[in-house]
Amino acid sequence: MRKINPVRSSQSKIGAEMSKTFRTSNGVKEKAHRLLRWSEKYFKTDMVYLAHGGFWLTLGQIFSALISLGLSIAYANLLTQQTFGTYKYILSAYGIISLFVIPGLSSAVTRSVSRGFEGSIKEGFKKKIKWGTIAGIASFLISIYYLLNNNLILSIGFLTIGLFLPLMESFGLYSSFLEGKKLFKERVLYEIGLNLIFAAAILLTIFLTKNLFIILAVYFISNITGRIIFYFLTVKKFKTNNLADEEMDSYGRSLSFFQIVSNASQYLDKILLFTMLGAPQVAIFTFASALPDRIKYLFRFTGTISFPKFAGRPAEEIKKNLPKKLLLLGLIISFAIVAYILAAPLIFKYIFPQYKSAVFLSQIISLTSIYAITYPIGSYLSAHKKVRELFMISGSSFLLGLICLLVFIPFYGIWGAVIGAAANRLTIITTSFYFLKKIKD
């Protein structure tokens, strides 16, 4: 009679169970894959690509929202309105100055990499360093201006911007490269890592000190450190050729014209509120906008994931299928807005009690988040180099929003900033759909 080795028998059972589990897992994946492929005839899009990329990008947005929420709680409870308002003003000033570091180059690198020109990241880096240095010098000059006018706080603030801006903008190109390669998983994991480095550094800093200059220095140093790490990791791990795109520079410059006026809108409200009403009003407006802004950022992945696909598809094919997808996206965004409006009173009561007077303001601001429906349209126009149309969208929305800010803030304070934001975003929606309908490839 043959003896049975109990250890070997146990190992065989474990192996059998693992094999069964593996087969089951593969079976579930295959069924999910078939279901996604079946659904493509209704959604008219690559659902496997959307599910894979969309999962990682949504996961990244969720992590970013959680980290942002944690930081907001710390800011609300540990910093005064004066300190926090000044902090946000300086970061908004950074946002304005950084717009002159060829912002369109990031999208141009994504487009070039998606077409196989992977060496574009190094060319883009050189351009960013060059223009970042010029923008940094401009920030130094603003710093001298404030120093001569005896405003030491803003003088040091703009000096800090000038020192760190070139590196911040240049090393951030790793994200554009990964996006062009459709490496959404890696991009999200790196962004989560960057956010964790930044959040840990800032939280530790504001627990230890309330000094605005130290907080600003830690903000920039932690962000630059993370970007340097992930830039070199990206170049070393994923770059496979040295091909450069001759069109990238000219396209990036062209794209920058509309991105400057488009992105300036998100900073000008805080700049004008600080200038006209002071730092505390900037703090209140920031907290009223914080969570509604997360709604639109949550859906930014729809533009990100669309861009590489649109770059390789005929315009007529995209225009035929895109409206139905936008309708579905609009319904989902609307549901998120309604959910926030219902939850806002509880959120401010328990999480931001110092700012609970801003509940109604925040609920109204959340309605403007519906403009996130235009992200895929912007990606379509960018991917097909419709620079004139992009400039008209951004230029008209910027101009109308700026006029409303200048007219209404002096009379209605923070509500004037809300009117400006609403005018800006309504114009984006109107003009985006107009050009989606009218444009011909």
Cα–Cα distance for residue pair 346/353, rounded to 1 Å: 10
Residues 283 and 226 in one domain: no
Model confidence at 212, pLDDT cuts 50, 70, 90, reads very high
Cα–Cα distance for residue pair 46/49, rounded to 1 Å: 5
Q: What residue type is assigned to position 286 of the chain?
A: T
Rg over alpha carbons for the chain, rounded to the nearest Å, is: 24
* Confidence at residue 25, expressed as pLDDT on a 0 to 100 scale: 46
**pLDDT single digits (tens) 157-176:** 999 999 999 999 999 999 99
CB atoms within 10 A of CB 114: 20
Residues 53 and 178 in one domain: yes
Helices (H) then strands (E): counts for the chain? 17, 0
Query: Among 246, 261, 276, which residue terminates a domain?
Result: 246
Cα–Cα distance for residue pair 272/261, rounded to 1 Å: 16
| Nearest one of 159, 289, 172 to 223, comparing CA atoms | 172
Residues 179 and 272 in one domain: no
Residues 212 and 283 in one domain: no
State both tokens at 166: 């070139």
Residues 75 and 105 in one domain: yes
Which residue's structure tokens are 């077409």? 115
Query: Among 205, 228, 246, which residue terminates a domain?
Result: 246
Whole-prediction pTM: 0.77
Cα–Cα distance for residue pair 432/187, rounded to 1 Å: 28
3-state secondary structure of 116: coil
Say whether pLDDT at 186 is over 60: yes
For residue 75, is it within any domain? yes
For residue 7, is it within any domain? no
For residue 384, is it within any domain? yes
pLDDT above 90 coverage of the chain, percent? 46
CB–CB of 346/339 below 8 Å?
A: no
Contacts 24+ apart (CB under 8 A), 114-117: 114/180, 114/181, 114/182, 114/307, 114/308, 114/311, 114/312, 115/245, 115/311, 115/312, 116/241, 116/243, 117/243, 117/244, 117/245, 117/248
For residue 186, is it within any domain? yes
Q: CB under 8 Å to 101, separation ≥6 — which residues?
A: 128, 131, 132, 135, 165, 166, 169
* Confidence at residue 14, expressed as pLDDT on a 0 to 100 scale: 44
Residues 175 and 227 in one domain: yes
For residue 25, is it within any domain? no
Read off φ and ψ for residue 33, nearest 5 degrees.
Answer: -60, -45
Q: What residue type is assigned to position 253 of the chain?
A: R
Residues 371 and 408 in one domain: yes
**pLDDT single digits (tens) 419-433:** 999 999 999 999 988
Average pLDDT score, the chain: 83
For residue 101, is it within any domain? yes
Residues 272 and 154 in one domain: no
Cα–Cα distance for residue pair 315/170, rounded to 1 Å: 32
Cα–Cα distance for residue pair 423/399, rounded to 1 Å: 10
* Confidence at residue 126, expressed as pLDDT on a 0 to 100 scale: 92
Residues 102 and 75 in one domain: yes
Residue range(s) defining the domain that contains residue 196: 46-246
Residues 201 and 53 in one domain: yes
For residue 434, is it within any domain? yes
CB–CB of 212/83 below 8 Å?
A: yes
* Confidence at residue 16, expressed as pLDDT on a 0 to 100 scale: 52
* Confidence at residue 229, expressed as pLDDT on a 0 to 100 scale: 95
**pLDDT single digits (tens) 336-357:** 999 999 999 999 998 888 898 8
**pLDDT single digits (tens) 188-209:** 899 999 999 999 999 999 999 9
From residue 183, how far is each of 53, 174, 234, 300, 421 by CA, in Å? 8, 11, 10, 16, 33
- CA angle, 164 then 106 then 54, to 5°: 115
Q: How many structural domains compose the chain? A: 2
Query: Among 246, 272, 287, which residue terminates a domain?
Result: 246
Model confidence at 312, pLDDT cuts 50, 70, 90, reads low
Say whether pLDDT at 40 is over 50: no
CB–CB of 172/193 below 8 Å?
A: no
Mean pLDDT of 286-301: 83
Cα–Cα distance for residue pair 228/194, rounded to 1 Å: 10
Residues 402 and 272 in one domain: yes
* Confidence at residue 56, expressed as pLDDT on a 0 to 100 scale: 67
Cα–Cα distance for residue pair 398/395, rounded to 1 Å: 5
Alpha helices per DSSP H over 44-119: 47-78, 81-98, 104-114
Which residue's structure tokens are 């991917």? 383
Give the distance, in angstroms, between the CA of residue 203 and the centroid of all CA atoms in the same chain.
21
3-state secondary structure of 245: coil
Cα–Cα distance for residue pair 330/370, rounded to 1 Å: 7
From residue 60, how far is each of 68, 94, 271, 299, 322 by CA, in Å? 12, 24, 29, 11, 24
For residue 40, is it within any domain? no
Residues 152 and 271 in one domain: no
